């Protein structure tokens, strides 16, 4: 086979530009988040998050070069090996890991720490894509489906064991990709219905009211339609399932979840339920974003994100800085960039000639989408506070490198899309 010498020419430059824009904006915002007027520190000061982020960015550039140089077949060939290795590391984390901010998710190398869970995302994406791309794979085959869910379930469980609920939830985003690859939408619909019932259950103080309402609806439904036994039985069964779900949600929320987790959910339904405790972060975050008005206060002019009013202002709540200093226009730009990137990634995924690359492409889109959606929803009070970073924006080496690898493997595969045998 012919070796392609001019790889850079075939890399998707639109995606790379979007990536650069996001990373640079993120860097500026990290500086803004910790900026202290009186201290007169430079953005390059290595004692600041911004200075260290620049180092992480430089390292990311080296990683990108490595990805581009390495043969594209490498990723598919070794997908399972990587997968096994990362599982091993995730098992190792609770044993030899060090604790940072209450979560034991880090493995220390000297004074540096990396979070294996950040790398588990792209590795799982590779493994899942390889499985989907394998000969004889059928999405409607139950056995294949079981394997798929096991592939995403294993790292998810291991990460949850580190009490990193946010990152564990990220793995549910693969379901969207499964749907694109042909899985019945039934699961998605059930999931959305369950979420709907979940929220209703939280809103209604006593599940008994819901049961009565469902009973009435059931009777009306039975009386309105044909009185056939099969139809009545199905309706009753459906109603019973919903009643069961309500009861179990009620049980989980009241008895299984820890008080702080329960509060995070309850705060969504009623932000005033605990304005002093759990609601505090979200209130502060909303104040910061809301105070940005239309055009923002200007770069480095924000007052809320500094002085500790907003928690984790350079990592999980980095969007506050954008909202405060660049206002709605800034939010529009950032959200626009993300949506553009997502659409571009989808476009790239669609033009792949083999199923492995396409599945991987959609995995990239879904993971990025999940982070983007949950992170911003959390800062503006639309979703419970779960600690996941905003891709390319949030401070942190592991997170930046993880997303960079995730994206550039796709670009590498895309650059060589003409070279692969078609097996779609």
Question: What dihedral do alpha carbons 253, 254, 256, 262 form, nearest 10°?
Answer: 50
357 contributes a contact to other proteins by CB under 8 A: no
Cβ proximity to other proteins, 113 vs 271, nearer residue? 271
Cβ proximity to other proteins, 7 vs 144, nearer residue? 144
* Stretch near other proteins under the rule CB under 8 A, chosen from 89-97, 154-162, 300-308, 414-422: 300-308
34 contributes a contact to other proteins by CB under 8 A: no
Would the CA dihedral through 348, 353, 356, 358 be positive or negative? Answer: positive
Binding to other proteins in span 259-278, by CB under 8 A = 260, 275-276
Interacting residue with other proteins among 286, 355, 371, 412 (CB under 8 A): 286
Q: How many residues bind other proteins (CB under 8 A)?
A: 48
**Alpha carbon distance 88, 72 (integer Å):** 25
186 contributes a contact to other proteins by CB under 8 A: no
* Stretch near other proteins under the rule CB under 8 A, chosen from 27-35, 95-103, 328-336, 393-401: 328-336
Residue pair 122/400 in contact (Cβ under 8 Å)? The answer is: no
316 contributes a contact to other proteins by CB under 8 A: no
328 contributes a contact to other proteins by CB under 8 A: yes
331 contributes a contact to other proteins by CB under 8 A: yes
In the complex, least distance from residue 46 CB atom to other proteins, rounded to whole angstroms: 13
Token pair in block for residue 320: 């506050």
182 contributes a contact to other proteins by CB under 8 A: yes
Token pair in block for residue 337: 């960039």
Interacting residue with other proteins among 1, 47, 135, 206 (CB under 8 A): 47
| 3-state SS assignment for residue 135 | coil
**Alpha carbon distance 155, 217 (integer Å):** 41
In the complex, least distance from residue 287 CB atom to other proteins, rounded to whole angstroms: 5
Helix, strand, coil in percent for the chain, rounding step 5: 70, 5, 25
Paired strand residues for 112: 109
Of 156, 66, 163, which is closest to residue 405 (Cα–Cα)? 66
* Stretch near other proteins under the rule CB under 8 A, chosen from 68-76, 206-214, 370-378, 396-404: 370-378
422 contributes a contact to other proteins by CB under 8 A: no
In the complex, least distance from residue 292 CB atom to other proteins, rounded to whole angstroms: 5
In the complex, least distance from residue 88 CB atom to other proteins, rounded to whole angstroms: 30
Cβ proximity to other proteins, 244 vs 290, nearer residue? 290
* Stretch near other proteins under the rule CB under 8 A, chosen from 86-94, 178-186, 197-205, 409-417: 178-186
In the complex, least distance from residue 363 CB atom to other proteins, rounded to whole angstroms: 12
406 contributes a contact to other proteins by CB under 8 A: no
383 contributes a contact to other proteins by CB under 8 A: no
Residue pair 86/120 in contact (Cβ under 8 Å)? The answer is: yes
382 contributes a contact to other proteins by CB under 8 A: yes
**Alpha carbon distance 43, 64 (integer Å):** 24
Q: Identify how many contiguous H helices and E strands the chain contains and give both numbers.
A: 16, 3
111 contributes a contact to other proteins by CB under 8 A: no
Distance set, CA 134 to CA 117, 178, 305, 350, 357 (Å) = 26, 15, 48, 18, 11
Paired strand residues for 108: 113
**Alpha carbon distance 133, 126 (integer Å):** 10
- Integer Rg of the chain from CA: 24
Query: Helices 49-69 and 13-34, interaxial angle, to 10°?
Result: 160
Interface with other proteins (CB under 8 A): 36, 38, 47, 176, 179-182, 260, 275-276, 286-294, 303-304, 307-309, 323-324, 327-328, 331-332, 335-336, 338-339, 342-343, 346, 350, 362, 365, 369, 372-373, 376-377, 380, 382
């Amino acid at each position: 086979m012919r070796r392609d010498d001019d790889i850079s020419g075939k890399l998707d430059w639109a995606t790379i530009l979007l990536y650069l824009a996001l990373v640079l904006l993120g860097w500026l915002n990290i500086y803004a988040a910790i900026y202290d007027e009186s201290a007169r520190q430079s953005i390059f000061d290595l004692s600041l998050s911004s200075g260290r982020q620049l180092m992480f960015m430089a390292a990311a550039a080296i990683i990108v070069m490595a990805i581009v140089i390495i043969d594209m077949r490498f990723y598919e060939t070794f997908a399972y090996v990587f997968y096994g290795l990362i599982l091993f590391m995730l098992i190792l984390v609770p044993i030899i890991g060090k604790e940072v901010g209450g979560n034991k998710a880090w493995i220390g190398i000297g004074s540096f720490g990396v979070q294996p869970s950040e790398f588990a995302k792209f590795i799982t994406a590779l493994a899942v894509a390889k499985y989907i791309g394998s000969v004889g794979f059928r999405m409607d085959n139950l056995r294949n489906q079981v394997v798929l869910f096991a592939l995403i379930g294993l790292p998810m469980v291991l990460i949850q064991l580190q009490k990193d609920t946010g990152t564990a939830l990220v793995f549910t985003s693969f379901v969207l990709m499964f749907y694109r690859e042909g899985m019945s939408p039934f699961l998605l619909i059930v999931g959305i219905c369950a979420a709907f019932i979940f929220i209703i259950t939280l809103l209604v103080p006593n599940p008994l009211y819901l049961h009565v309402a469902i009973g009435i609806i059931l009777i009306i439904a039975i009386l309105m339609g044909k009185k056939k036994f099969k139809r009545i039985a199905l309706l009753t069964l459906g109603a019973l399932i919903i009643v069961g779900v309500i009861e179990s949600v009620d049980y989980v929320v009241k008895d299984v979840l820890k008080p702080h987790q329960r509060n995070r959910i309850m705060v969504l339904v009623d932000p005033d339920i605990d304005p002093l405790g759990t609601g505090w972060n979200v209130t502060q975050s909303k104040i910061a974003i809301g105070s940005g008005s239309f055009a923002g206060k200007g770069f480095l002019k924000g007052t809320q994100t500094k002085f500790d009013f907003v928690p984790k202002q350079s990592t999980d709540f980095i969007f506050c800085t954008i909202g405060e200093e660049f206002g709605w226009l800034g939010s529009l730009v950032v959200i626009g960039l993300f949506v553009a990137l997502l659409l571009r990634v989808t476009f790239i995924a669609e033009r792949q000639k083999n199923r492995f690359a396409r599945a991987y492409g959609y995995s990239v889109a879904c993971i990025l989408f999940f982070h983007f959606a949950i992170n911003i929803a959390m800062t503006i009070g639309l979703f419970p506070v779960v600690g996941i970073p905003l891709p390319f924006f949030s401070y942190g080496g592991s997170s930046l490198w993880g997303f960079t690898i995730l994206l550039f493997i796709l670009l590498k595969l895309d650059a060589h899309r003409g070279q692969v045998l078609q097996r779609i």
